[in-house]
Structure 1
């Protein structure tokens, strides 16, 4: 995102950084709302349109695949227009997709709307994470956790809205339209704030080739992100269906596991930045991985829906720290081209979503949802080996020189 020279002169001021952080926080909250709106309405949409379990699973897998494609659309948009305009456009598109899912007259229209949502959410991922990486560089300390805490707050609010709409016996279109309206309001409210030049990514012409070596350095983070999103998609996409089909919960109660999961992530992510500063990123990652493994085992063995809801909250508490720390550490591999690094890392993200969503859906369609939660518990232990690769931001904040022309961004 480019700004004028006078704007650059103000970029180092605390007010500019604080404003950028507030805008990014709103954008992360909006993404949480949008993702939760889709996942928590899956039971209602499938029952309304009489979608088979196989079609539902295929559709959710398609959302993840399209999100992967959307990441590279987002990368192109960030390089042309900047992360903030990219974020606005993606939010508007996601709002349109949510509305279309709600009013879809048939299965084909609904599937197309889900595909559109996937593209939008992938572009949104790149836009907001690129902006978050620049803001963290400007602050010179861990702030990624606070952004993902806002994501989780948005998701909890959305899940509760879905539950409330079901309680009031609203049609699914009503609840989704309300949540689409939230996205539109946030898209209008967010605005760009100038950051120090050294905090921003370089222009496309100034970026060196990323090279094959970057993929090697990304692998540990990719493994962690893959596991995180296998866990996340298993809980997010299928917890409502798990409670409904396996634990005999009502449509009003079914979204509560997702709400508890996201409530756990709010607590975990709110504490992430302080925990990293006190204990170090590696120690936090190791503790989180062990917590996730235990909580997933508890969710798989839950005798009734209240136990599953509590276990889902515990999963969120442990898993919440992994994604923001993973993205923050990966962005520091090439600070001047963070949008390109994050777009590539997102491939692991959506591979995890596809794997978790597909396997969980297939197991659930055969009545084996408990196994779908037990298997990721084993995968969570793999995260322990990658913990040593996690880094922390430099202690000193980026300083802006007196004139914009006096500095060249580092590649």
Structure 2
């Protein structure tokens, strides 16, 4: 089947860029809610089941490892059923995993529940980013930041719900069930819309051209940036609640607020990302963000009390918010015809970063050295300055044909 066939006939669904964008936005929001629900309830689940600190660290690392495998399961699902069906299935699975984590009566059950969540969030990762890349191509301008804004808004809502549930002394199962209900509601509200045939990406088809060695060389800078970004993200997301609880003596009600502040910072940053890129360029935005992240992480490491740590976490979110969406958007433009394959492989750096940050932070935290974990992450953030020059931004629609590299032009041809 040719990509030049009318989109409505090909997909059997309404053609709407805005509708497709709304559906992807809801999927990003669902992912943000589910990830925040898991991370912010780690202290409560640990205390409820009396898990050893080393097992808690191992579980967080295992989630990242399994998510890496889930990313490739998501790639296979996209090629078979498309990104929208993959997103919806992964969101429903994530909601089920949240309920299972809350209801788990023992260690074995909670381990299985966390593994299921890792598979779901890995598949969802590649699904939402593939869909976002295709929609951005359809718009012909930078819009990736708006999707990650929805992710962050979902994270803020889930973190505040966790804090509220602790304040009301709800059982952890009740709080996670409420958050799972929000994820389910977002899944129900997702609608399927095809993209116009003139801008629909070849990612809508299961047949994909092979990726050459030259592409992998060009992916390295983005992979390294993504690795560092997710070292930082996992250090703040997975362990900020535990840091406030154990090191800064915060209550269970206060402990989730660092995560909420971090995600609130990302909401502000990501809401402004696309506008800043269009005005100042991606390179300048990335360099400024890297410096802000490094300074804010140093502030978290030196925090004398939990209010200072919460403010510093918000600043980390403000700076780090732009890095992942710009990285993924720039990498997807290296080979638009196979964006889901590019992003699935780029996601490996994501999970290596999550594993590294989560494991190192957890191990340091189990020995009372969370401050050192944040200081080390600050040093890594400075390294992002060297990779900033590789970032690009979405070219105008009229100029895209002239700016596609010769080795990519063959991929933009219709496939039968």
Q: TM-score, normalised by structure 2?
A: 0.93
Partners in 2 of 1:241 and 1:221 — Cα distance? 30
Please state whether the residue corresponding to 1:199 is helix, strand or coil: coil
SS, match of residue 392 in structure 2: coil
CA contact (8 A) 1:264 1:320 kept: yes
**Which residue number in structure 1 is paired with residue 94 of structure 2?**
94
Residue by residue, what CA displacement relative to the aligned partner does 1:262-306 show, whole Å, maximum 9, x if unpaired?
000000000000000000001100000000000000010000000
Q: Single out whichever of 61-70 and 387-396 deviates more from structure 2.
A: 387-396
- The aligned length equals 402
Structure 1 distance, partners of 2:207, 2:343, is: 18
How far off is 1:207 after superposition? 2.2
Partner of residue 356, structure 1: 357
Contact 1:40/1:255 (CA < 8 Å) preserved in 2?
A: yes
Counting only pairs closer than 5 Å after superposition, residues 262-281 of structure 1 correspond to structure 2 as 262-281=263-282
User: Does the 8 A contact of 1:66 with 1:115 survive in 2?
Assistant: yes
Single out whichever of 386-395 and 71-80 deviates more from structure 2.
386-395
Q: 1:260-409 maps to which residues of 2 (within 5 A)?
A: 260-396=261-397, 408-409=413-414
Choose 207-216 or 142-151, whichever is displaced more: 207-216
Q: Mapping of 1:102-117 within 5 angstroms?
A: 102-117=102-117
Distance of 1:136 and 1:253 partners within structure 2: 38
Q: Quote the residue 1:73 is aligned against.
A: 73
Residues in 2 aligned to 1:195 and 1:4: alpha-carbon distance in whole angstroms: 12
1:116-195 paired onto structure 2 within 5 Å: 116-195=116-195
Structure 1 distance, partners of 2:100, 2:161, is 18
Going from structure 1 to structure 2, the CA distance change for 1:410 and 1:266 (only over 3 Å counts) comes to farther
Question: Once the 2 structures are TM-superposed, how far is the Cα of residue 67 of structure 1 from its aligned partner?
Answer: 0.3
CA RMSD of aligned residues (A): 2.2
Give the 3 Å change call, closer, same or farther, for CA 41–384 of structure 1 in structure 2. Answer: same
Distance 1:397-1:365 versus aligned 2 partners, 3 A rule: farther
**Cα distance in structure 2, aligned partners of 1:3 and 1:374:** 50
Match of 1:330, SS state, is: helix
Cα distance in 1 between the residues matched to 2:33 and 2:274: 23
Distance 2:266 2:204 in 1: 35
SS of 1:367's equivalent?
coil
Instruction: Say yes or no: does 1:227 pair with 2:228.
Output: yes
Q: Distance in 2 between matches of 1:83 and 1:147?
A: 15
Map of 2:200 onto structure 1: 199
**1:251 counterpart SS class:** coil
Residue 141 (structure 1) shift = 0.2
Q: CA deviation at 1:90?
A: 0.2
Alpha-carbon separation, structure 1, partners of 2:77 and 2:29: 21
Unaligned runs of 5+ in 1: 400-406
Q: CA deviation at 1:4?
A: 11
Q: List per-residue Cα deviations over 1:224-260 (Å, max 9, x = no partner).
A: 0000000000000000000000000000000000000
TM-score (norm 1): 0.94
Are residues 72 and 2 of structure 1, via their aligned partners in 2, closer, same or farther at CA, if it must alter by over 3 Å? farther
Structure 1 pair 196/384, CA: closer, same or farther in 2 (3 Å)? Answer: same
